[in-house]
Amino acid sequence: MEVTLLGTGDTTGTPTVGCDCDTCAAARERGVERTRFSVHVESASGETLLLDASPDFRYQFLREELDPPDAAVISHIHFDHLDGLGNVYRITRDMPVYAADETDPETGESVAETVRRRYDYLDAVDVVPTTPFETVETAGLEVTLVPVDHPPLVCYGLLVTDPETGGTLALTGDTSFGIPERSQEVLSGADLALADGIVPAENCEHHPLGGRHHDADGTPRTFGDKHMTIEGAREMCQQLDAADYRIVHLAHYVPAADAFDSDMGVDGEQFTL
């Protein structure tokens, strides 16, 4: 299984448009980017799976010289994970899109229903309602969605397994540190974990909600209520006992001195699992 990090940034990406902060300047100097979140997986069979559809879809696929994916999975309906689906117009004929079938109390419909409604004009998008904790097979891979904690909307992490190689990839999805225990059990022991960590814990003092899920030393592992802090993401990867990990969904508010540490993902990184 070949994993390519297409987009490792938050909703504005790094560099951020119009921003001259030290982190955005350092990214430009280094020639690296963190576009909006997306991951490309190629199975041992040669089929490909897109994990979340970044609005930067077209640029990411051209940059990495990739063909259109054979299938996709959508973790939740925030635009930076969903709106790239519009890019499949006229570039592929039939792409199954897997999304959870549980009704979201906030929207009154499941992620699958929202995707179908939003993209009903695209004949190529074939929405496949998927029940969390039930493994589905697609693109030569086994995929399991698990609920995480990203209020006010439902959101899902996922485990991807290549049955031919045995390689495993775990994504926490957009989430606070409060990932349910059953979901953590599914995500545990992966060869590679990709964990949502948006900013350092010290930034919680600037969030209206502060921080949550403090550790024994009082360090918040959740920024506000939607995303893990970088400290929280690192601890979550330890709890999940991942062989390797990268922090993703990073904001440009990470101080430049720390923003490109070895465990912080940047676009284009590749892994063989």
pLDDT tens digits, one per residue of 17-54: 999 999 999 999 999 999 999 999 999 999 999 999 99
Residues 7 and 267 sit within 8 Å (Cβ to Cβ): yes
Res 20: pLDDT: 94
% the chain with pLDDT above 70: 100
Task: Tell me the pLDDT tens digit for each residue of 182-203.
Answer: 999 999 999 999 999 999 999 9
Mean pLDDT of 230-235: 98
Residues 160 and 41 sit within 8 Å (Cβ to Cβ): yes
Residue 78 CB contacts under 8 Å (≥ 6 apart), including other chains: 11, 153, 174
Strand partners, 194: 171, 246
Mean pLDDT of 176-184: 98
Judged against a pLDDT cut of 90, whether residue 90 lies above it is answered with: no
Residue 47: exposed, middle, or buried by beta-carbon count in 10 A (0-12, 13-18, 19+)?
A: middle
Res 29: pLDDT: 96
Res 141: pLDDT: 98
Give me the sign of the Cα torsion angle 250, 158, 97, 78.
Answer: negative
The overall average pLDDT reported for the chain is 97
C-alpha distance from residue 140 to each of 8, 41, 127, 132, 160 (Å): 24, 10, 18, 19, 10
- Band of pLDDT at residue 259, cut at 50, 70 and 90: very high
Tokens representing residue 68 in the block: 């259109």
Mean pLDDT of 96-118: 98
- Band of pLDDT at residue 89, cut at 50, 70 and 90: confident
CA pair distance 168, 190, nearest whole angstrom: 5
Domains of the chain: 2-258 (3.60.15.10)
Question: What single-letter amino acid sits at 129?
Answer: P
